[in-house]
Structure 1
Amino acid sequence: MSPDTIPVLDVRGLSLEFPVFGGAVRALNGVSLRVMPGEIVGIVGESGSGKSVTAMAALRLLPPGGYRVTAGSLHLGGDDVLAASEPVVRRWRGRRAAMIFQEPMTALNPTQRIGEQMVGVLRVHRRISRRDALTQAESLLRDMMIPDPAQVLRAYPFELSGGMRQRVMVAMAFSCDPDLLIADEPTTALDVTVQRQVLQLLRHHARERGTAILFITHDMAVVSQLCDRVYVMYAGTVVEQGPTGQVLREPRHPYTRGLLDGLPEGAPPGSALAAIPGQVPDMRHPPSGCPFFDRCAYADETCRQRPALLPLDVAAEASDAGQDRRRLACWHPLSPAQADAAGGSV
């Protein structure tokens, strides 16, 4: 099998729970997704939908002993992440897969200068001298369009703006040329102009280096700018997936349409933004049927049974590659006319 045909990340049927007093929070329920080499894939959904848990599980960053995997598998470039020893996984982090967190102020060490932190990362994964590591760190910051990288290397994190700190995090993530970069809401705390700059840097350097990206966000507009494919998650499950353009132009799941209807770009000036009624279900007691049942305008008694994630076009699913095409978990998919009503706002 060619290396280009092996997913850099392959999650299949992953179910995961957090033990709590008197039970467990079922955070993931049969999640399957894959990221191919050089691909930019998005995961989108409300807070509490399981996006970050999926990402943290991929690098085994969840607290040891604080969670249980009850089903499924997780492979990084063909290697079993769940079965690997902790020392092996530590070697993979940064070198094979790196992560950019939502808030760089908590991800960066406030007691160390930026240069010390970048040099530390480089020397852990590469056999280079401190001098060479500093030279490479300065070059990485310059690639991130930072005007005075030498000064930034001498600075502490609190001396930098939020946008500058996030550029440092992007530089550190790319520093060891990982096969996969997981970006967990990296632009949420940034203003629109800086957000656009960071997204452009991510896309440019990923394409230039051949790095695959798994981009986690609640923002459909960001997905439209960056991602080749998208997985829409709700209550720990994937409810819709497919090429980004198709999903955003023709959303077939009522939840996907609800996310698109809430974008400010689609609302008339001065009008209130649309919102999905209700709340995400309590995952200590997950519903037995469709998790979106209580919030869906199209739900009926059929929806009290859980829908499977099935292809929209069964004929196109003859090959294993069909897993990356349009799939939907819904008993009552929106018609093309209904879907089109939501698709023009992104």
Structure 2
Amino acid sequence: MQTSPEVSAHVPNANTPVLTIDNLSVEFPAYRSTVKALNGVSLHVNPGEIVGVIGESGSGKSVTAMLSLRLLPERSYHVSGGSLHILGRDMLAAKEKDLLKVRGRDVAMIFQEPMTALNPTRRIGRQMLDVIIHHQHLSKADARAKAIGLLRDMHIADPEQVLENYPFELSGGMRQRVMIALAFSCDPQLLIADEPTTALDVTVQRQVLLLLREKARERGTAILLITHDMALVSQFCDRVYVMYTGAVVEQGATGEVMVDPRHPYTRGLLSGLPEQVQPGEDLMTIPGQVPNLAALPAGCTFRDRCQYAMPVCSKRPPLQAIDAEGLRKSACWLTVQEQSS
């Protein structure tokens, strides 16, 4: 991968995306094959927006999140096309020293399981103070005061005590609140949350996501929320990208996508929500499974699971705009037919 001199990040205005991914394709070399993890993905997140990326396991959503901060092991993947910029900086060409400045300061990440993200051998206070002091150059006393304030913002009743605790002494919900406080400690302009509530029960899930949204709105932070949960997207996201086999198959304002899904895969995901069935009825599921990413079928990769499959689906459908502004898009031959009729 080629490198280039550091490009200074800039503070975007409301119309300039914080994160821009354009036609990005990524492959993972495997034994006698190549796993095509991303296939021409394009998405953007504007300041203050909460944007969801949803799909089943193997859809490419977590690869998109990890690659945004170059957290995938170097030389384990190959970018075969496209670009990825955060705050005007080319993240695919950035040197390691430049990435260290971006991570934590401009962009923060909340991982699925905070026990693996937090160091189990260090107290919470030590971990938070190290990050704050490193990025904001505060004194130890000022950094501690900021850490206490952040934990209090997360509705933690006794932040001073939590600073003295080790991660394993806290509940899952409390650890995730600590992770959110840590993510906001340096006032990032973009926060990437990769399945941030999967390990939590429904009540704590909602509390944590409400806190995340509250702090993001308060500070104007852009959020990219990676999830497999359509219900969370419907409640917390402004826009949504639906991914399947490493490609975006539908995108648009969340309300519009939820009310009028245009891709059969999106309809399948929505049909699995409890509110879509009558009491006592079984939840609907999408038949089959995600195809092998090392041997993707030609054409529409969803056609073997799709009840609407047609002969034309042997060719790959374009991701086509279905509104005048070009904000709603769908990659389905049914959509193409509807637009042309």
Superposed pair shares fold, TM > 0.5: yes
Distance across 1 between alignment mates of 2:337 and 2:211? 37
- Paired residues in the alignment total 328
Distance across 1 between alignment mates of 2:79 and 2:109? 21
Distance across 2 between alignment mates of 1:116 and 1:334? 56
* Seq. identity, %: 65
Note the C-alpha offset of 1:24. Answer: 1.2
* Corresponding residue of 1:340: none
Q: Deviations 1:203-223 (Å, cap 9, x if unpaired)?
A: 110000000000111111101
**More displaced 10-residue stretch of structure 1: 147-156 or 129-138:** 129-138
Tell me which amino acid in the other structure corresponds to 1:182: I
User: Which of 174, 181, 184 matches 2:191?
Assistant: 181
Q: Does residue 275 of the first structure (1) align with residue 285 of the second (2)? A: yes
* Corresponding residue of 1:98: 108
* Corresponding residue of 1:288: 298
Note the C-alpha offset of 1:265. Answer: 2.2
State the TM-score, normalizing by the size of structure 2.
0.94
**More displaced 10-residue stretch of structure 1: 237-246 or 285-294:** 285-294
Per the alignment, in what secondary structure is the counterpart of residue 190 of structure 1? coil
Distance across 1 between alignment mates of 2:31 and 2:134? 39
Q: Does residue 331 of the first structure (1) align with residue 341 of the second (2)? A: no
Note the C-alpha offset of 1:79. Answer: 1.2
Structure 1 residue ranges without an equivalent (≥5): 337-346
User: Which of 136, 146, 151 matches 2:156?
Assistant: 146
Per the alignment, in what secondary structure is the counterpart of residue 84 of structure 2? strand
User: Which of 21, 24, 35 matches 1:25?
Assistant: 35
Distance across 2 between alignment mates of 1:208 and 1:335? 43
User: Which of 162, 169, 181 matches 2:172?
Assistant: 162
* Corresponding residue of 1:52: 62
* Corresponding residue of 2:81: 71
Mapping for residues 81-230 of structure 1, pairs under 5 Å: 81-230=91-240
Mapping for residues 234-249 of structure 1, pairs under 5 Å: 234-249=244-259
CA contact (8 A) 1:252 1:334 kept: no
Distance across 1 between alignment mates of 2:97 and 2:44? 25
CA contact (8 A) 2:250 2:319 kept: yes
Note the C-alpha offset of 1:173. Answer: 0.4
CA contact (8 A) 2:15 2:46 kept: yes
CA contact (8 A) 2:41 2:248 kept: yes
Tell me which amino acid in the other structure corresponds to 1:79: R
Distance across 1 between alignment mates of 2:109 and 2:22? 21
Tell me which amino acid in the other structure corresponds to 2:329: R
Structure 2 residue ranges without an equivalent (≥5): 1-10
Q: Deviations 1:4-38 (Å, cap 9, x if unpaired)?
A: 32210000000001111112110000000000111
Q: Deviations 1:117-167 (Å, cap 9, x if unpaired)?
A: 101111110111111111111110000000100110000000000000000
CA contact (8 A) 2:12 2:18 kept: no
Note the C-alpha offset of 1:334. Answer: 10
User: Which of 255, 274, 284 matches 2:265?
Assistant: 255
CA contact (8 A) 1:254 1:334 kept: no
Note the C-alpha offset of 1:270. Answer: 2.2
State the TM-score, normalizing by the size of structure 1.
0.93
* Corresponding residue of 2:3: none
Q: 1:21 to 1:258 in 2, by over 3 A?
A: same
Per the alignment, in what secondary structure is the counterpart of residue 332 of structure 1? helix
Distance across 2 between alignment mates of 1:297 and 1:212? 37
**Over 4 Å off, 4+ runs:** none
